[in-house]
Amino acid sequence: MSAPDLTQSLIQSRSPEIPAEDAIIKAGLEVLDSTSTWKQGKTYQHNKVKTFHRSKGPKDGTAWYCRVSEHTKEEGTFAEFWNKLGENKAENEMQYIPDIQKVQLIKRISPTQSVWTLFYHLPPPISPRVFTVVQTTWLSESSPKTGIIVSIPVDVTGDAEYAKLEEKGVKGRYVAVERITERDDGTLEWRMATSSTPGGNIPQFVADSSMASTISRDVTWFLEYLTKTRSEAVPAATTEVHADAPKVEAAPNAAAAEASGAGAAGATA
């Protein structure tokens, strides 16, 4: 699979087989690397999110859009971002994107690749939309820490067991490639490129006209969700420590204490 193959996945009605994980990641990286040459658009979310776009090419299903945001350590660490974007991505997205009403795991192919269907309930008169995608992730813990999430559309109608897991609604299709990179000072860059078609009777130019602002809004929603999950976790941890403290009869091993206190990155983009 190459970058052109990734763009064509929007216009292919069905793929006989899911490409290899390394091929998907390689194609995704090619798309991300190309975003440096795209035309810059507006800046959103109080100048937090820059947007870029590329017009539809001869092999594209639709135009491509990109957003880039930078984040301080106070906003979130690499581990925190990856935990919500690189592990169980669809389930986490349902928590902070209001239009997503339901997600369903259709098949877990490997620890780093799975098929999900997402059900979007949109304001009337727009009909509900269903997007079914293969999500593939790649993580490098070496410096600079980097995480990649690639989502490509997949047609599961050929398998009755899989198809019945999809909600009823107009079927849309999207490709999305995300990269989280940790810099030397601990700050992060979150870069995402996407191309999509909503399906149904919505003209493509209407969907394209709001794409930059729509994908930028996701950044604010994600940060709010991350802050909320942090605050919800603190009281539980405090209660546990206070409950266990009277039972401690000896000083704990320092190394063990440090290990138990560190949050593991990991489990969503």
Q: Which residue has the tokens 């990179």?
A: 181
Of 17, 32, 42, 69, the C-alpha closest to 175 is 32
Choose among 62, 39, 65: nearest CA to 215: 65
Calpha distance 28→191 (Å, rounded): 12
User: What proportions of the chain, in percent to the nearest 5, are helix, strand and coil?
Assistant: 35, 30, 35
pTM: 0.81
146 close to 172: Cβ distance less than 8 angstroms: no
pLDDT, tens digit (0-9, with 9 covering 90-100), for 111-163: 999 999 999 998 888 899 999 999 999 999 999 999 999 999 999 998 999 99
Beta-carbon contacts of 157 under 8 Å, excluding residues fewer than 6 positions away, are: 14, 163
**For residues 103 and 90, is the Cβ–Cβ distance under 8 A?**
yes
| Residues 217-261 pLDDT 10s | 999 999 999 999 988 876 544 444 444 444 434 333 333 333 333
Strand blocks (E) in the chain? 39-44, 49-54, 64-71, 100-110, 113-120, 129-140, 146-153, 170-171, 173-182, 188-197
pLDDT in tens, 2-57: 666 666 666 554 545 788 999 999 999 999 999 999 999 999 999 999 999 999 88
